[in-house]
Structure 1
């Protein structure tokens, strides 16, 4: 455990992405390493209730497709990756700023289940932490940007409400383990 009470990479939290790459001159403390490793796991379609425990209940996840505020909404987005994609491959990542937000360049290849369509997304991920070191907000800015406009934001909010109706999030660690998380 770190001094913030958040498990570290060597602790009980099962994080698969322990090799966090940083840009020259950027170094992360143990808590930041844990947070970034857990976020890389989420982007790889490897969610777990343990990893989502690093998030505030009222946190927000935002990307060009959704603005998901609150645990029920953002958790469904992460678990939805497993349902939507047959393959998720991280091609590159590098933490470029260890401040608040932590900034990371991320390039990921996704293959849509059923139709085999492949899409590579280059993004800048901004991870905002609260005073306890938990994730308060995460922005996935595709090509460094988020859409801004009434119509796009309406669709992003609609997605945040719809996905939790279609994607079930495990209720407990036992159910999570049965899914292989």
Structure 2
């Protein structure tokens, strides 16, 4: 993809897909189109490796939260070599069952392969790297293995 307008369109589509996912509207179609099967997803709670771990995470969002708002989103950097987008995002979530509203400010780093499928996504809450000290790395890996036991991933193309 040497045409800058084509690349811009692909990045725009990728950003729209990510917004849908963060707003709790993940579908199998989005995952098939946008994510590599062996992609890595990281945030302060999870370290997911591969479809079997990251897909349940995305489908768990509407089960954990009742309301989602992307308050702001701003692209900080978009590169072609490597294929990477870095953007800032502010989300408002309302926790299910307790009604607590939470605001999450993130710096999100997304690496793509040559087909513009996500191979790595790191969600840095408050711009900080996901924690790895004092056992938190193992806790994040444990959570990534636990969620697939609790959340079913649809077999069809939509949630």
Whether TM exceeds 0.5 here: the answer is yes
Which residue of structure 2 aligns with residue 24 of structure 1?
Answer: none
Matches within 5 A, 1:109-120: 109-120=92-103
List structure 1 segments (4+ residues) > 2 angstroms apart after TM superposition. none
Give, in whole Å, the separation in 2 of the partners of 1:149 and 1:136. Answer: 24
Which residue of structure 2 aligns with residue 161 of structure 1?
Answer: 145
Give, in angstroms, the shift of residue 148 of structure 1.
Answer: 2.5
Alignment gaps of 5+ in structure 2: 2-6
Give, in whole Å, the separation in 2 of the partners of 1:102 and 1:110. Answer: 23
Which residue of structure 1 aligns with residue 68 of structure 2?
Answer: 88
TM-score normalised over the length of structure 2: 0.89
Give, in angstroms, the shift of residue 172 of structure 1.
Answer: 1.4
State the Cα deviation string for residues 152-172 of structure 1 (Å, max 9, x = none): 111100100000110001011
TM-score normalised over the length of structure 1: 0.79
State the Cα deviation string for residues 115-166 of structure 1 (Å, max 9, x = none): 1111100000111001221110111100111212251111100100000110
Give, in whole Å, the separation in 1 of the partners of 2:15 and 2:41. Answer: 15
Coordinate RMSD, CA, aligned: 1.2
Give, in whole Å, the separation in 2 of the partners of 1:93 and 1:104. Answer: 7
- Choose the corresponding residue for 1:36, options 4, 15, 21: 15
Give, in angstroms, the shift of residue 101 of structure 1.
Answer: 2.2
State the Cα deviation string for residues 28-51 of structure 1 (Å, max 9, x = none): 611111111101111101100111
What is the total number of aligned residue pairs between the two structures?
149
Q: Does 1:172 align with 2:159?
A: no
Matches within 5 A, 1:47-58: 47-53=26-32, 54-58=34-38
Q: Secondary structure of the equivalent of 1:138?
A: strand
Q: Does 1:126 align with 2:105?
A: no
